[in-house]
Chains A and B, each alone.
Chain A
Amino acid sequence: MFNHTLMDTKKIDHIISLSNDLRWQIGDEFHDNLAEGIYADAAEIVKDSVHKKDEKGTFRIDAKIDKIITSRIWGFPLMFLILAFVLWLTIVGANYPSAMLSGLLLDTVHPALKGFAAAIGMPWWLDGFLIDGVYLAVAWVIAVMLPPMAIFFPLFTLLEDFGYLPRVAFNLDHLFKLSGAHGKQALTMSMGFGCNAAGIVATRIIDSPRERLIAIITNNFSLCNGRWPTQILIATIFVGALVPASYSGVLSLAAVIAIAVLGMVFMFLVSWGLSKTVLKGEVSTFNLELPPYRPPRFWKTIYTSIIDRTLIVLWRAIVFAAPAGAVIWLISNIYLGDASLAAWLIDSLDGFGFLLGLNGVILVAYIVAIPANEIVIPTILMLTVLVTGISAGEGAGVMFELDSVSATGDILRAGGWTLLTAINLMLFSLLHNPCSTTIYTIYKETKSLKWTLVASILPVIMGFVVTFLVAQIWRLWS
């Protein structure tokens, strides 16, 4: 028996060394040539044996659509019109269901829960922690986040299914190539306007590892659904007020668009910088298939986009929002000496905030609202009321928003806000760390702590630098 195995190992060794020798003789080219030969043979066989029906009729329509969509004159205007239309439909269309949801979850269920807690004699701290903290944050995220995502993603998926999106990537690729990125990043970037986490999942369509990492890291520069409302609110209050009322709508809209465009500029700049430095040496390949147009499968698309994109992202957001709500309530209700933890934090960050043209309240709000951008404004309002002591809102740790834009403006001005604070808040809302849902998604997609850290910290550093410079130059000027 023993002899036998010994013989076998000897034989195996002999075979291995023989195969190594043969490999030497055949040469490196052999493998490639064989593969190419097989492909070529397969092509010959297909040519002889597969007969296609004449498909010229449909092909012509495809070609005509393509000619318009990728033409020099119509290509770009069409693209921007469609993107603008999708965003407009999302923002305007989401207002009604959002109002309904917040009416239900915040104005009806919340008081009912409070009433129920009081009825069963729940201690005030448990009631506050669970209902004002955890429940409110989750309700807020659902009310603000669900409707726009449920509109944006199906629209986006319909365009994708129709075959339009690959043409967008095709049209824009040259711009992305200049910054070292992949044309398909145009798609993940647009997807980021809906939700950065979904945009990052969408980078799976980029097959080249280097370009995919660039797309993941820079996706945060797309203003997501959680941040559009903040931008619009602040622009309406502070920027719109600069001009007579009849123009204020146009000006605040222009300000929001300027921020979104600035985000794209940063996306290109950072892509370029990454591809020249830390991502040098990663393999880069480009090829893009332009599928034929086909009528979208409407219901299937709606169903899959709501299940795959909206609900999964929403679930992650809820999971992260719940503890954030708890933290927000806790820091406002735990007292150290004569001031709440929130007040201490705000006080200690005020100096740094001032340097950035912001204030302590905003920085604390951005720290506790890492899980969801949706709750930044309610948190800022609650904290502002907390430190200024004006009478509004519903008490320490209870986030709120006001129906009237001008009343919101009054609270913020009472908190010491100026036009500079507003502009820098808009900039910082564009340039800060991704929300925790996105950070978690980045980790799941890259499987790398290093890249997750880079993607999380890089934007916030950029935000500090940009707001700092704007603040100093602003103050020099005025």
Chain B
Amino acid sequence: MNTYNPITALAVFFALSILAFLFFRPYRGWFWLIRNSSVSNDKIVVEDVLKLLYHNENADKHLNINDIIRTLKYNDRTILECINKMSDHELISIQGDNVKLTQSGSDYALRIVRAHRLWEKFLAEKTGFKEAEWHERAERMEHELSKVDADNLSSQLGNPQFDPHGDPIPTNTGKIAKIKGIPVSELPIGTIGRIVHIKDKPEIIYKQILAENIHIGSVIRIMEKTSARIEFHSEGEAFVLAPIMAGNITVSVLEKDVVFEENLARLSILKENETAKIIGISKEIRGDSRRRLLDLGFVKGAEVQIDLMNPLGDPKAFLIKGTSIALRKNQASKILIQKD
């Protein structure tokens, strides 16, 4: 005990804490880096090349080896080795400089796409990760799901046909639906439609669209259109987008006698002693929490008013169907109402 000195003890403690932090901090900790680098990367590279080729061939673009090397963020030699391996296994055929998917390569690519989109659907329905994180998490998970895993996941989710961005999920037999719709930027004024697809690439634009709180399934009405901006109304709010953002949102036009509810408001802005009618729940609330709200009585046509204010401002209690239910502001703001 004679070498003991509080300052040394503290110094040792802080040194150890810093070391532990460097090792285990999320994502960039040394422990995770070492663990990730020891996993064989070849499978991931092969699958990424297949996916890249698949998406480009769908858009009628043909890539050469240089394009692939430029687009993917792996070291050049690994990619070249993988491409050679893939051509040996007849996943791709190389004609001159051009790389094309073979039938088996295209099947394989579809399987990856299926895993990716199913995982995104899973994240949307069953987890609480933020929308902006879905794509990146699915990018990692798609390499780990086997065909059987994907099938199990699919039946667990009720065999969904579309991922949360509106992209079709290939079936296990490789069938794939087509998105029928028109980009918002090409719609005439006055059109009413339902958002069916939001492109998740490029990421910058996707994140901007998310920040605007625009969601798949919402019904919109185009109000104004110029070369610089497009304005539409949806779920009681006005949105103004630049044409480049509007071009990434696809809408299926609704023609037959749709009632587009105007004068919508959010439950969160209801004041004491006001009453309102519920019009619906925003499409942003999915899965179990949506069902729970319906169970509690937040259904179309129900009368609602404020029962209790909170000493801290949030949550507020709403009187619905004779029961007092407290909801936080972020949830109340996703319930659409029409004030009486």
| Chain A contacts to B: CB under 8 angstroms | 20, 23-24, 27-29, 31-32, 35-36, 39-40, 43-44, 52, 66-67, 70-72, 75-76, 170-175, 177, 183, 207, 210, 277, 280-292, 351, 354-355, 468-469, 471-473, 475-476
Q: Contacts A35-B291, A35-B294, A286-B331 given; indicate if A23 touches B314 (C-beta within 8 A).
A: no
Stretch at the interface among B2-10, B30-38, B257-265: B2-10
* A266 nearest CB across to chain B (Å): 18
Across the A-B interface, give the 6 residue pairs with the lowest CB-CB distance, nearest first.
A174-B312, A39-B299, A290-B324, A288-B326, A75-B311, A472-B6
B293/A287 in contact, CB under 8 A? yes
A32/B290 in contact, CB under 8 A? yes
Tell me which residues across on chain B come within 8 A of A291, comparing CB atoms.
324
**Mask of B311-330 contacts with A, CB within 8 angstroms, 1/0:** 11111010001111111100
* A65 nearest CB across to chain B (Å): 11
A174/B299 in contact, CB under 8 A? no
Q: Does B226 contact A (CB under 8 A)?
A: no
Q: Which of B159, B162, B315 is the one whose CB lies under 8 Å from A173?
A: B315
Q: Does B292 contact A (CB under 8 A)?
A: yes
Tell me which residues across on chain B come within 8 A of A23, comparing CB atoms.
159, 161
Tell me which residues across on chain B come within 8 A of A174, comparing CB atoms.
310, 312-315
Q: Contacts A36-B280, A283-B128 given; indicate if A76 touches B311 (C-beta within 8 A).
A: yes
Smallest Cβ-Cβ distance to A47: which chain B residue: B301
Q: Does B308 contact A (CB under 8 A)?
A: yes
What CA separation (Å) do A292 and B324 show in the bound complex? 8
What CA separation (Å) do A84 and B321 show in the bound complex? 36
* A53 nearest CB across to chain B (Å): 12
Report 16 cross-chain contacts, Cβ distance below 8 Å, ordered by A residue. Answer: A24-B177, A28-B160, A173-B314, A174-B312, A177-B328, A183-B326, A282-B127, A285-B288, A286-B315, A288-B325, A289-B296, A290-B317, A290-B325, A354-B4, A469-B13, A476-B6
Tell me which residues across on chain B come within 8 A of A66, comparing CB atoms.
307-308
Q: Does B275 contact A (CB under 8 A)?
A: no
What CA separation (Å) do A232 and B7 show in the bound complex? 32
What CA separation (Å) do A164 and B11 show in the bound complex? 50
Q: Does B171 contact A (CB under 8 A)?
A: yes
What CA separation (Å) do A367 and B254 show in the bound complex? 69
Tell me which residues across on chain A come within 8 A of B328, comparing CB atoms.
173, 177, 286
**Chain B, 167-222, CB within 8 A of any chain A CB:** 171, 177, 194, 217
What CA separation (Å) do A291 and B289 show in the bound complex? 21
B308/A183 in contact, CB under 8 A? no
Q: Does B74 contact A (CB under 8 A)?
A: no
Q: Which of A40, A52, A173, A471 is the one whose CB lies under 8 Å from B310?
A: A173
A170/B315 in contact, CB under 8 A? yes
What CA separation (Å) do A470 and B282 show in the bound complex? 51
Smallest Cβ-Cβ distance to A73: which chain B residue: B311
Tell me which residues across on chain B come within 8 A of A76, comparing CB atoms.
311
B331/A287 in contact, CB under 8 A? yes
What CA separation (Å) do A283 and B122 show in the bound complex? 12
Smallest Cβ-Cβ distance to B5: which chain A residue: A475
What CA separation (Å) do A32 and B7 show in the bound complex? 64
Q: How many residues of B contact A (CB 8 A)?
A: 56
A289/B323 in contact, CB under 8 A? yes
Q: Does B85 contact A (CB under 8 A)?
A: no
B301/A281 in contact, CB under 8 A? no
B314/A285 in contact, CB under 8 A? no
Q: Does B126 contact A (CB under 8 A)?
A: yes
Q: Which of B4, B158, B161, B308 is the one whose CB lies under 8 Å from A170?
A: B308
B296/A287 in contact, CB under 8 A? yes
**Mask of B68-98 contacts with A, CB within 8 angstroms, 1/0:** 0000000000000000000000000000000
What CA separation (Å) do A67 and B177 show in the bound complex? 56
Q: Contacts A280-B129, A282-B127, A475-B6 given; indicate if A20 touches B160 (C-beta within 8 A).
A: no
Q: Which of B301, B308, B327 is the one whose CB lies under 8 Å from A44?
A: B301
Q: Does B65 contact A (CB under 8 A)?
A: no
Tell me which residues across on chain B come within 8 A of A170, comparing CB atoms.
308, 310, 315, 317, 326
Tell me which residues across on chain B come within 8 A of A173, comparing CB atoms.
310, 312, 314-315, 326, 328
What CA separation (Å) do A174 and B310 show in the bound complex? 9
What CA separation (Å) do A36 and B294 show in the bound complex? 7
A39/B294 in contact, CB under 8 A? yes
Smallest Cβ-Cβ distance to A354: which chain B residue: B1
Tell me which residues across on chain B come within 8 A of A287, comparing CB atoms.
292-293, 296, 325-327, 331
Tell me which residues across on chain A come within 8 A of B280, comparing CB atoms.
36
Tell me which residues across on chain B come within 8 A of A20, comparing CB atoms.
159, 171
Q: Does B52 contact A (CB under 8 A)?
A: no
Tell me which residues across on chain A come within 8 A of B159, comparing CB atoms.
20, 23
Smallest Cβ-Cβ distance to A74: which chain B residue: B311
Q: Contacts A20-B159, A281-B127, A283-B127 given; indicate if A175 touches B312 (C-beta within 8 A).
A: yes
Tell me which residues across on chain A come within 8 A of B162, comparing CB atoms.
28
Tell me which residues across on chain B come within 8 A of A281, comparing CB atoms.
123, 127-129
Contacts A29-B194, A39-B300 aside, 11 further interface pairs with beta carbons under 8 A come to: A23-B159, A23-B161, A24-B161, A43-B301, A70-B310, A76-B311, A177-B314, A287-B327, A288-B326, A351-B1, A468-B9
Q: Does B132 contact A (CB under 8 A)?
A: no
Smallest Cβ-Cβ distance to B316: which chain A residue: A170
What CA separation (Å) do A281 and B299 show in the bound complex? 27
Smallest Cβ-Cβ distance to B7: which chain A residue: A476
* A424 nearest CB across to chain B (Å): 14
Smallest Cβ-Cβ distance to A282: which chain B residue: B128
What CA separation (Å) do A172 and B328 show in the bound complex? 12
Q: Contacts A174-B315, A183-B315, A476-B6 given; indicate if A40 touches B299 (C-beta within 8 A).
A: yes
What CA separation (Å) do A76 and B311 show in the bound complex? 8
Tell me which residues across on chain B come within 8 A of A71, comparing CB atoms.
311
Tell me which residues across on chain B come within 8 A of A32, comparing CB atoms.
290
A72/B326 in contact, CB under 8 A? no
Tell me which residues across on chain B come within 8 A of A43, comparing CB atoms.
297, 299, 301-302, 321
What CA separation (Å) do A153 and B300 show in the bound complex? 42
Smallest Cβ-Cβ distance to B321: which chain A residue: A43
Q: Does B309 contact A (CB under 8 A)?
A: yes
A285/B292 in contact, CB under 8 A? yes
* A178 nearest CB across to chain B (Å): 10
Q: Which of A28, A72, A210, A277 is the one whose CB lies under 8 Å from B161?
A: A28
Tell me which residues across on chain A come within 8 A of B26, comparing CB atoms.
277
Q: Which of A35, A40, A469 is the one whose CB lies under 8 Å from B301?
A: A40
Tell me which residues across on chain B come within 8 A of A475, comparing CB atoms.
6
Q: Which of A40, A70, A280, A476 is the one whose CB lies under 8 Å from B308?
A: A70
Smallest Cβ-Cβ distance to A27: which chain B residue: B161
Smallest Cβ-Cβ distance to B127: which chain A residue: A281
Q: Which of A29, A172, A277, A286 is the one whose CB lies under 8 Å from B217?
A: A29
What CA separation (Å) do A472 and B8 show in the bound complex? 10
What CA separation (Å) do A280 and B80 show in the bound complex? 38
Smallest Cβ-Cβ distance to B13: which chain A residue: A468
* B287 nearest CB across to chain A (Å): 8
Tell me which residues across on chain B come within 8 A of A210, comparing CB atoms.
128
Tell me which residues across on chain A come within 8 A of B290, comparing CB atoms.
32
A36/B299 in contact, CB under 8 A? yes
What CA separation (Å) do A174 and B316 show in the bound complex? 10
Smallest Cβ-Cβ distance to A477: which chain B residue: B6
B327/A286 in contact, CB under 8 A? yes
Smallest Cβ-Cβ distance to B285: which chain A residue: A285
A36/B300 in contact, CB under 8 A? yes
* A349 nearest CB across to chain B (Å): 14
